[in-house]
Amino acid sequence: MKITLTSCITILLVSQAFAQIQTTYPDIPRVDVHAHVEGDYEVIQEYLDVREILLADYSTDLSMWINLSDRRHPITNIDSVILVSQNRMLCVYGDYEAARGLTYKPEDLEKKREQGFSQVLT
């Protein structure tokens, strides 16, 4: 995951060097709608660091991330993820894989919501 995040930072920095114009709307917060951070606190801190870099260097606020759980590394404590992410990470539970379709029944997905997941994506 670190290599991917480092690559993203590098691409962002290099792309800005070649940009002819900055965005017309720098004050609109950005949301990463597809992050697989799971409950990895180190990676969460790296996302917060990227946010600070973008704010300081480009006046761009990457304000939130939608954390798609991973069935191999499920989020086990949503409250701790929210705390570590400074309430900037929305945890959702995905239930779709192209090869198999949906796995869970609607009542099973409702249990995920009761556990604290913000939404169930299908």
Rg (C-alpha) for the chain, rounded Å, is 16
Q: Is the pLDDT of residue 50 over 80?
A: yes
| Per-residue pLDDT reduced to its tens digit, 29-39 | 999 988 888 88
Q: Is residue 108 in some structural domain?
A: no
The total domain count for the chain is 1
What pLDDT is recorded for position 122? 47
Q: Is residue 14 in some structural domain?
A: no
Q: Is residue 105 in some structural domain?
A: no
Q: Is residue 18 in some structural domain?
A: no
Q: What is the pTM of this model?
A: 0.68
Residues β-bridged to residue 66: 90
Q: Is the pLDDT of residue 71 over 70?
A: no
What pLDDT is recorded for position 42? 92
Q: Is residue 22 in some structural domain?
A: no
Residue/partner pairs of 102-111 with CB below 8 Å, 24 or more apart: none
Per the structure, the complete domain to which residue 33 belongs is given by 2-7+28-94
Residue 13: its H or E element? helix 2-18
